[in-house]
Amino acid sequence: MSGGRTTKPCPGCGKVDRFRKPDEVCRDCKEALVEAARYRKLAQERTAAGEAYVRYGAAVHWNKTVHVHGVDTDPVNLALFDLAQAVVVRSEWQGKNSQLLLGEYHYDVRWVYGNCPVPVAEAIIRLHKTLQPLLDATYNAGVLRGADLLRRLNAGELSPVEFAEAKEKCRK
C-alpha cells in the first residue's frame, strides 16, 4: 500500500477501490452523500414552507387501505391512492421522518416519498382513518338487515315474494 491508499472495502458500499484513501469512502459513495444532502435540504425547505414530508406505497396493494370482508373496496382504495398521487410532489430523498399517508404497509413495500401541503396531508390521513369504521358499520348494518329479513321470512311475517322484493330493494 503506497501513497496512503487502501485495498480494504469501502465502509459505505463494500466495493474495493484501490485509489481510495483509508479514511474516506469511495467516489460513488461521496457522490451519493452529496446528492442525499441536496435532497434533504430541498425537503427541509419544503417543510419550512408549510409542506408535509410524506410517504405511501408505490402501488395500491402496498398500502393498508380500507377493507371490509366480502365487500369490494377496491374503488375506495384506488380513489385514495389516486388522491395521494395527485397531491404529492415526488422527491428522490427517502428520509426517516416522513408521515405515513395511507396506513401501515402489508409487507415489503416500495415507497413513494414527497411533499404536499400540511392541511392536505392531514385531511388524507383523517379521511383514511374515517373510512374504515364507516364501511365496517355499513357492512354490519347490512348483515343485521339481512338477518332480520330471514327472521321475518321464517316467522311467516314475509311471503317469499315480499322477501325477494325486500332483498332487491337492499341491493339498490
Q: Are 27 and 78 in contact (CB under 8 A)?
A: no
The winner for highest mean pLDDT among 45-49, 56-60, 97-101 is: 56-60
3-state secondary structure 49-105: CCEEEEEEECCHHHCCCCCECCECCHHHHHHHHHHHHHHCEEECCCCCCCEECCCCC
Residue 69: which pLDDT band, with cuts at 50, 70 and 90? low
Cα distance from N-terminal residue to C-terminal residue, the chain: 80
How far is residue 61's CA from residue 82's CA, in Å, rounded to a whole number?
A: 13
Nine-digit cell string for 35: 446528492
User: Where exactly are the structural domains of the chain?
Assistant: 27-171
How far is residue 23's CA from residue 25's CA, in Å, rounded to a whole number?
A: 7
* Strand-by-strand arrangement of the 51-57 sheet: 89-91, 111-117, 51-57, 99-100
Predicted local distance difference test score (pLDDT) of residue 104: 67
Per-residue pLDDT, averaged over 87-106, amounts to 75
Residue 1: which pLDDT band, with cuts at 50, 70 and 90? very low
Q: What percent of the chain has pLDDT over 90?
A: 5
3-class DSSP state for residue 133?
A: helix
